[in-house]
Structure 1
Amino acid sequence: MASETQLIDQTPGPVQEPQITRRHWWTVVAVSLLVSVAAVLIGTHKFQLGPAPVVLFPIIWAVVLGGILGTQRVRRVSGASRAVATLLLEIGIILFLARLGTQIGPSLAKLTELGPAILLQEVGHIFGTVILALPVAVALGLGRVAVGATWSIDRESFLAYAIQRFGVRSGEYRGVFSVWLLGSLFGAVFISLLAGFLGGLNIFDPRALALGLGLGSASMMLGGVGALSLLYPDQAGEIMALAALSNLVTNIVGFYAGVFLSLPLCRRLYVFWSRLVGRDDDGASTRRVRNTGAAPAQTQLAPPVAVDVDPPLRVTRRTAILAYAITGASALLMNYVGTKSVTWNDALGVAVLVLLTGLSFRLARLLPSVPSSVWVLTLTTVLSAPFLPTAGLIAGLTQHLDVILIGLPALTLIGLTVGRDIKALKSLSWKIVVVALLTYSASFVAAAALGQFALGG
């Protein structure tokens, strides 16, 4: 998420701290652990919203509490601290995916029976946003911003592509940037609430909802998995495995499908909807112009407000080892806080996951076209598959490691980095916020509906 920050900084930010010290490391680690522990202690709470329960659980508390600390003004989180948090966040998310991959491998034989459902749900992710969210965005008067906001849920790769394809002063880029920003900051919380609400309605098979969580965002998937696992504890393992496999498929084919399929369709439908509702590329009403005879105003779109530039964190071998050690220790500690137990097997299991996480980053550097998220899910899935002799070892070492607890510190770090984006967040219109939430919802619901159809429900 934060790895693309430099791509969107088009204007100089405020002067940042020139040096990252041990104090910044200690501050980030201490705060993230305290928030994560607090989130676990607050626990899970449910309340009824109409016919369905809304589930508030540790993932939501971690993001919200982290966000409050990341934006408070009494003692601001410095750019140097955010730089440390960003590094630990990137490693923590991949560590979470590593544990998730070890749950896919043992279920591969069972998951092959759901092959058509897994493939069909991807159609929902590709086209759901275009079909459902685009007409609303055009009707609200977003103009060409509607294209960028609705051709996908706009993760990092789409942000980079929009810069190269459309330029930073284009409406399309504004849309991509806004949806990316909101998804990075609030996507996990929103999807967890939405997944819990839909799961409580008992309309969808929980397996279909799990398939719908393959949005291409690890944090969103984690939020949704957490909510569904609480609603369907007997199916928690299958839900996690299906969501992870669906997310892996989306990460592999989603970008290319978005660029070559959903974007061309979105642009064509944008022209259709603009003519139908009477809007020009700036979102102004063309009918009013025709009625008054006035010439349409030519507006110059300004680029989104740049996020602050954090000081660069030079990742040496020593720094990398420290970051991996902190991430592993934090995961082990949170697993102990949540499960009230710890064994040598747990420690060895975390160590194995950390090693596989580091290997995935290394492979991603050697083959940049394949992101570390894909590498780690592939490696851990294969190593834990029943047809390899490593399956028993992996299962024995990781069976007591709770995937949600392992991912908790990373989501806390998302909140701590919110301060970097606060100026850009304040610049967003309420209209783009509505469209962004509709875009996430459309992708999730359309994929779940197609998954439900393929499952025979």
Structure 2
Amino acid sequence: MTQDALFTKEAPPGPKPISKGHWGTVVLLSLIISVVAVLIGTHKIQVGPAAIVLFPIIWAVVIGGLIGTQRIRPISGASRTVATLLLEIGIIVFLARLGTQIGPSLTKFTELGPAILLQEVGHVFGTVIIALPVAVALGLGRVAIGATWSIDRESFLAYAIQRFGVRSGEYRGVFSVWLLGSLFGAVFISLLAGFLGGLGIFDPRALALGLGLGSASMMLGGVGALSLLYPEQAGEIMALAALSNLITNIVGFYAGVFLSLPLCRALYKFWSRLFGRDDDGELITARHGTKAGITPAAPAESNLQLSVETDPPLKVTPRVIFAAYAIVGVSAVIMNSVGTRSFVGSDALGILVLLLLTGLSFRLARLVPSIPSSVWVLAITTILSAPFLPTSAWIAGLTQHLDVILIGLPALTLIGLTVGRDVSALKSLSWKIILVAFLTYSASFIAAAAIGQFTLHL
């Protein structure tokens, strides 16, 4: 069912079968939360010259998270399984809509070519340069390597499992940053993007380029905030962010493995010597003291194994897949109608086309596992909507009334509803790794935006 395999705990014995009630619970909750989020609307909190933008995406994730972690009537593992399937499809549908906004703008971006390509340098090296020394100074030991060589999405997590093993400090760092990013990344990046956008220091196009973090949910959060701050440039912001994210998805993993990780390991040794830390994060002088009879320190945190609870498996049949796609499509149409307060017949046809392209992308990802569905869907929709193809006008006509933020809203709501699965792992994280994780996200975004800013204004 999922695109990437993760190591998890064994599921409790005898889980209840997934029923229509579980499907109904998830669909009803996601729609209610999404509608409430839209009704709450957008609010700006002025902080000096900048502004914190609170908008429906944030409300949806926060409300979903509160419901997903409450213990009065907890969300069952079976319901979380359904939510995960719908989330995977919903995110790709959102990316499909973003792709249809890239194509018509391709000719505009020819002059931005260097900026689009060079921003990846910020994503690859920004985290290592900025976050790594802080992580080492805090005493994270080899956890610092895993936590700062990238923002650690699913492909990096799988690589860390194979490369370092699940009991390594590097894996613990990767896991922690992956987990926090999956649960809170969208909200954090949306707040950061809104704050930086409000300062007026960066060109909004540079900030859009910085949002190509390799995470669809983080990009969606940041795009939403910037689009509200710069409504006249909303279309360009969305297209640039999606194009930047596509490039990161294509080359980011390989750049991370072959460039960022070796640099991170080399600089880790330098910073460890400078701060006098060993691989467990302890002060070297204190560790040497054990030879004089001092009681050894407790086992380092980096040797602990982290995992998330496994939800009951879902038997994926053609009927289940059809139902999931139908739910995602209907939810998208409903939210677009609620948010825009309008409905035209082409909206439903547009969603149907996006669903078909989503299905094609999943199929291609199974045939060519090295290329994820997110890359396939962005590439396909970008090409089909490009002005040099006859399909561009047809795609534009069907999708012109579809608001990309509203379409992605139910999917982000589902992120919140699945938080309960990860509560145990979250409780085991120290404040140090949490601080470093958010610093890693910030460093990747800001470094890429700064390079984009410099390149745009050469």
Which TM class, normalised by the smaller chain length? Answer: over 0.9
Residue from 87, 90, 96 that aligns with 1:89: 87
Residue from 264, 267, 274 that aligns with 1:266: 264
Aligned mates of 2:257, 2:47 — CA distance in 1: 38
Match in the other structure for 2:254: 256
Match in the other structure for 1:8: 7
Q: 1:409 to 1:16 in 2, by over 3 A?
A: farther
Aligned mates of 2:234, 2:14 — CA distance in 1: 44
Whether 1:319 and 2:317 are equivalent positions in the alignment is no
Aligned mates of 1:314, 1:276 — CA distance in 2: 53
For residues 68-117 of structure 1, give each alpha carbon's deviation from its aligned partner in whole angstroms, at most 9, with x where no partner exists.
00000000100100000000000000000000000000000001210000
Aligned mates of 1:27, 1:290 — CA distance in 2: 57
- Aligned ranges 1:50-89 → 2 under 5 Å: 50-89=48-87
Aligned mates of 1:28, 1:395 — CA distance in 2: 32
Match in the other structure for 2:419: 418
Tell me by how many angstroms 1:16 deviates.
6.0
- Supply the AA of the counterpart residue of 2:384: L
Match in the other structure for 2:284: 286
Aligned mates of 1:303, 1:360 — CA distance in 2: 37
- Supply the AA of the counterpart residue of 1:360: S
Q: Which runs of 5+ in 1 are unaligned?
A: none
Match in the other structure for 2:229: 231
Aligned mates of 1:15, 1:454 — CA distance in 2: 56
Query: 3-state DSSP class of the match of 1:133?
Result: helix
Query: 3-state DSSP class of the match of 1:47?
Result: strand
Aligned mates of 2:18, 2:212 — CA distance in 1: 36
Q: Which runs of 5+ in 2 are unaligned?
A: none
Aligned mates of 2:366, 2:198 — CA distance in 1: 42
Aligned mates of 1:3, 1:282 — CA distance in 2: 33
Aligned mates of 1:67, 1:423 — CA distance in 2: 15
On the 8 A contact 1:177/1:304 being kept in 2, the answer is: no
Query: 3-state DSSP class of the match of 1:310?
Result: coil
Aligned mates of 1:51, 1:221 — CA distance in 2: 24
Match in the other structure for 2:27: 29
Tell me by how many angstroms 1:314 deviates.
1.2
Q: 1:298 to 1:68 in 2, by over 3 A?
A: closer
Match in the other structure for 1:149: 147
- Aligned ranges 1:75-224 → 2 under 5 Å: 75-224=73-222
Whether 1:428 and 2:429 are equivalent positions in the alignment is yes
On the 8 A contact 1:53/1:196 being kept in 2, the answer is: yes
- Aligned ranges 1:347-386 → 2 under 5 Å: 347-386=348-387
Residue from 35, 38, 61 that aligns with 2:36: 38
Aligned mates of 2:420, 2:266 — CA distance in 1: 37
Aligned mates of 1:252, 1:304 — CA distance in 2: 30
Tell me by how many angstroms 1:289 deviates.
3.9
- Supply the AA of the counterpart residue of 2:139: G
Aligned mates of 1:244, 1:15 — CA distance in 2: 42
Aligned mates of 1:118, 1:24 — CA distance in 2: 43
Tell me by how many angstroms 1:288 deviates.
3.3
Query: 3-state DSSP class of the match of 1:8?
Result: coil
Tell me by how many angstroms 1:14 deviates.
3.2
| Larger mean Cα displacement after TM superposition, 394-403 or 17-26 | 17-26
Aligned mates of 2:427, 2:329 — CA distance in 1: 35
On the 8 A contact 2:175/2:306 being kept in 1, the answer is: no
Aligned mates of 2:227, 2:285 — CA distance in 1: 50
Q: Percent identity?
A: 77
Aligned mates of 1:283, 1:211 — CA distance in 2: 35
Aligned mates of 2:173, 2:306 — CA distance in 1: 13
Tell me by how many angstroms 1:48 deviates.
1.1
- Supply the AA of the counterpart residue of 1:282: D
Please, what TM-score do these two structures have when normalized by structure 2? 0.97
Tell me by how many angstroms 1:185 deviates.
0.1
Whether 1:344 and 2:350 are equivalent positions in the alignment is no
For residues 6-56 of structure 1, give each alpha carbon's deviation from its aligned partner in whole angstroms, at most 9, with x where no partner exists.
5221x4343462311100001100000000000000000001122211100
Please, what TM-score do these two structures have when normalized by structure 1? 0.97
Q: 1:422 to 1:387 in 2, by over 3 A?
A: same
Query: 3-state DSSP class of the match of 1:187?
Result: helix
On the 8 A contact 2:11/2:312 being kept in 1, the answer is: no
